[in-house]
Amino acid sequence: MNELLGKKAMVTGGSRGIGAATAIALAEKGADVVITYNASADAAATVVKEIESLGRRAVALAVDAADAVAVGDGVRRAAESLGGLDILVNNAGVGAIAPIADLTLADVDRVLAVNVRGVYAATQAAVPLLSDGGRLIHLGSCAAGRVTTPGMTLYAMSKSAVTGLSKALARELGPRRITSNVIQPGPINTDMNPADGPFAGVQRANLAIDRFGDSTEIAAAVAYLAGPDAAFITGTELTVDGGHTA
Ligand code: NDP
């Protein structure tokens, strides 16, 4: 129940969806949490209140994940306000589902800036601040392992990059007992991928369990990887996709 008591966690993009559920799940297990947000200040404030109601400390920072300098500063501010850093969850991400012919180079720059460059910048800033035995947990996608629908070129490419980063980090940080892993969600009902959205039908057709997942089901997997029982799990992917890629 309280296995993360005293731990200091940062969740990027913690104002809505999987990030918000993750921040709350970590706090429920005892962690103090800094979340970042870009556009949703009110939603971020609601998450902060919910964490505080659990008796944990919470801070929300406005940090655009596409601005790598701001991202690094945000990580340092988070560690300063928490008094250290044990867990970084790289969650902030954007989608871009369209045929390759319809995606512009501006789309490529926008998606890679958030999903790859922002993740790299946050991690680079966090590594010297993380405690030994700390945790790096990155939100990838089951599309990095198997693509089941058309229109995924840019998004799948961005999430595959995260897998490469995570594996390399596991090798580099193993001597400090810092683990690095990717959670690979399947279809999860959020603003990014609503269960009644235009792409829902084609995704549902590939699910072994006939429903979209809930953000709390991804948050639970993140909390597990952040906890003491997962100390020997590193450099791997945990797919939570209702059998979407089975
Ligand atoms: P949502 O769109 O519902 O929420 C995205 C979150 O990221 C929000 O809190 C948003 O904050 C934040 N965010 C977006 N852009 C930025 C930015 N430039 N700077 C800072 N924060 C930003 O997405 P999900 O919760 O569905 O997705 C979370 C992660 O899980 C993403 O990495 C996504 O790719 C991944 N994922 C999701 C799946 C799904 O089916 N939902 C499937 C596979 C992976 P704000 O509103 O303040 O901008």
CATH code of 173's domain: 3.40.50.720
Tell me whether residue 97 is in a domain.
yes
For residue 175, the CA-to-ligand 1 centroid distance in Å is 31
3 in a structural domain? no
66 lines ligand 1 (CB under 6 A): yes
Give the Cα separation of 217 and 234 in Å (integer). Answer: 20
Q: So what's the pLDDT on residue 1?
A: 75
Annotated catalytic residue, options 37, 120, 155, 224: 155
Q: Residues in the chain with pLDDT < 50?
A: none
Examine the residue annotation and report whether 120 is marked as an active-site residue of this protein: no
Q: Does ligand 1 have an atom closer than 6 angstroms to the CB of 163?
A: no
245 assigned to some structural domain: no
pTM confidence score: 0.98
* Predicted local distance difference test score (pLDDT) of residue 165: 98
Residues, the chain = 246
Q: Which of 183, 175, 180 is nearest to 124 (CA)?
A: 180
Task: Find the domain containing 200 and state its range.
Answer: 8-240
Question: How many CB atoms are located within 10 Å of the residue 41 CB?
Answer: 12
- Report CA Rg, the chain: 17
Atom of ligand 1 nearest to the CA of 92: 7
Report how far residue 94's alpha carbon sits from residue 158's, in angstroms, rounded to the nearest whole number.
10
pLDDT tens digit sequence for 120-169: 999 999 999 999 999 999 999 999 999 999 999 999 999 999 999 999 99
* Ligand 1 centre distance from Cα of residue 91 (Å): 6
- For residues 145 and 245, is the Cβ–Cβ distance under 8 A? yes
Number of folded domains that form the chain: 1
Best of 12, 22, 35, 37 to mutate for ligand 1, by most ligand atoms within 8 A of CB?
37
Assigned token pair, 118: 């922002």
